[in-house]
Amino acid sequence: MTKGFTGTIARVNLTDGIVERLEMGKDFYRTYMGGSGFGAYFLLKGLKRKTSALAAENIITIAPGITTGAAVSGVSRCCITALSPETGGVGDSQLGGSIGPFIKRAGYDGIVITGKAASPCYLLVDGDTIEIKDGAHIVGKTVLETHDALTTVHGDKNISILQCGPAGENLVRFSCLIGDFNNVAGRGGMGAVFGSKNMRAIVVKGKGTVEFEDNDTLKKLAKLAMNRVPGSGFPEILQKLGTPGVVGPQAEGGNFATHNFSRSWHEEYLQLHGGTYDKEISAGKTTCFGCIVGCRKKVKAQSPWPVTDRLGGPEYETLGLLGSNLDITNAVAVAKANELCNNYGLDTISTGGVAAYLFECLEKGILTSADCDGKELGFNDPEGLFWLIDKIVNRQGIGDILADGFASAIEKLGEKTRPYAIHVKNKVPAVHMAQVKPSLALMYAVSPIGADHMQNEHDWLLTSEAELSKSLGILGGGELDCADLNKVRMTVYSQFFYSLLDTLSLCMFCWGCGSLFNYRDLEDLLQAATGWETTMFELMKVGERRVNMLRQINMRQGFTAKDDVLPERLFEKLPDGPAKGRCVDREAFAKMRAHYYELMGWDETTGNPRDGKLRDLGLEWAI
């Protein structure tokens, strides 16, 4: 087998308990490469049209990348792919930590799970042994309780645990998966897919080693990263302050969602900035396997709310969605809400998004406390937010309504609430504001997985890294504000590149545009891992292939261009702050979207890949 791979993918059917070991052959590996590329392949091959994300027939894949397990920064993430209970289309989410390396060490390039267990279970992957174990004793337990219960049985050495929390068990449509209690595959409701399969966790024990072709080059790349961090800008900030360290600069650029996305900065944003609150509640940091950046900040507090340091601290997105977007600027309050979400297994972005929707409907008088079980709720109310999180995870009253996401909530709470439901394909956008980033506005609309901020490079970096962009053949369109054909070209190319990163399970903070490594380093990395004589041409095609497979899955689920739309609020002018007056220009956006379909080789009416494009990518089997 090519070095970097184990040559085996495990397939588990929870309905009949059959475990298979698939040997897919070298061409498969070179074509789909790993991570989300594998996920897209197994879903597109194996799913019937219009499968419900919560049906036993849904398929979920957990796949690391080719380089996972190498001692180089940012090369060991893990991709989760399945139909999303949040959007109904394809879902894809990544996490760091050590679950990826442990899957490789256990001897697998990926795990594919389908079916539904008859009773609560967890999966034990221990080298050649894969067992479906009775999970009755962990039903209803929090993430921390479950982790402790499973490590009591299986030990806490050479082990990694991926689990949904009680939110996933209760099929909350935006529940997440947690790796070793502080690494989160947050988006798309992957926790509910676990819950729908009666599978609470996967325990992976791995003692084997992963072999690579050229360990000397891998060591050189590891050293390069170490030398490049000082003076690197973004990675250096991440090393010192984690993602909370960008709250200040982002808010000052009018890029910090506030009051349900109606504003783009909060006067008290500095209270949520990592550099400010770090002194009060920092509790050190952790890192993903082999990464010297170590951006995973931990926090700890005693008052006004006790916060444990075991579940990790709030990231930039969380500080926005559970903070400024709810007008909460007390960092301990956000840390507490983050702790609750992580311990229950809720996506902090979507939880914040549905809370903001409810609070604005209450503020506008469209709903009243009678709709909230008599509870007075609103913006800038941490205790109210904690209460609501509890109701969502336990599916009680208003929490039960919100747990099913926006489409269902609008049906139950009334059409008048629709303007305040800020989402694309039922998924809440990140804290990054589409009003100030035209390429992000486009990507929020057209991404197969719904509004997501990690699918392409944002305008700001594309602009500042013009030289790097040139090496991808992007020569113009760097102006921040422009929303023209050049910007679309940049968006498309950077989408292919980011799609490649998710296929290789690489971290965008290390391998993204203008970060620690450049495109030539990426070719070197792949060659060192596998021995392949690869080029960026081949690699960009791999990224493009994955985007088209994801889109093709959505086509089979019934999605069309009609779903590639933005919430109305984003077309309204921002009322104040550094980005005052900015909005998504309706006409420019429509033109960008049309150009995007054209450049992608997708049908302009349906928004779906044309047969010729699928053939171009070697996907004729998916026509």
| Contacting positions for ligand SF4 (CB under 6 A) | 73-74, 96, 238, 287-288, 291, 293-296, 507, 509-510
Identify which of 192, 1, 34 has the alpha carbon closest to the alpha carbon of residue 103: 34
Distance CA 31, CA 79 (A): 17
307 vs 507, beta carbon nearer ligand SF4: 507
Single-letter amino acid, residue 180: D
96 vs 166, beta carbon nearer ligand SF4: 96
Burial class (CB in 10 A: 0-12, 13-18, 19+), 454: buried
Provide φ and ψ at 434, rounded to 5°: -60, -25
Nearest distance in Å: CB 514, ligand SF4: 14
Checking DSSP bridges between strand 60-63 and strand 159-164, what pairing results, if any? unpaired
289 vs 379, beta carbon nearer ligand SF4: 289
96 vs 254, beta carbon nearer ligand SF4: 96
316 vs 596, beta carbon nearer ligand SF4: 316
Nearest distance in Å: CB 62, ligand SF4: 17
294 vs 419, beta carbon nearer ligand SF4: 294
Name every residue whose Cβ is closer than 8 Å to that of residue 462 and which is 6 or more positions away in sequence. Answer: 439, 469, 474, 478, 490, 494, 513
Helical (H) or strand (E) element with 258:
none
295 vs 555, beta carbon nearer ligand SF4: 295
Tally of CA atoms within 13 A in the half-sphere of 239 that contains its CB: 19
Checking DSSP bridges between strand 177-179 and strand 159-164, what pairing results, if any? antiparallel
Strand, helix or coil for residue 177: strand
Nearest distance in Å: CB 180, ligand SF4: 13
Nearest distance in Å: CB 179, ligand SF4: 11
Give the full edge-to-edge strand order of the sheet including 199-205: 129-134, 121-126, 199-205, 159-164, 177-179, 183-185
431 vs 490, beta carbon nearer ligand SF4: 431
94 vs 308, beta carbon nearer ligand SF4: 94
Nearest distance in Å: CB 512, ligand SF4: 10
- Looking at residue 345, the DSSP 8-state letter turns out to be T
4 vs 101, beta carbon nearer ligand SF4: 101
Distance CA 21, CA 128 (A): 9
Three-class secondary structure assignment of 64-92: CCCCCCCCCCCCCCEEEEEECCCCCCEEE
DSSP string computed for 179-207: ETTTEEE-SS-HHHHHHHTTEEEEEEE--
Identify which of 109, 74, 116, 108 has the alpha carbon closest to the alpha carbon of residue 94: 74
Nearest distance in Å: CB 454, ligand SF4: 11
Single-letter amino acid, residue 187: R
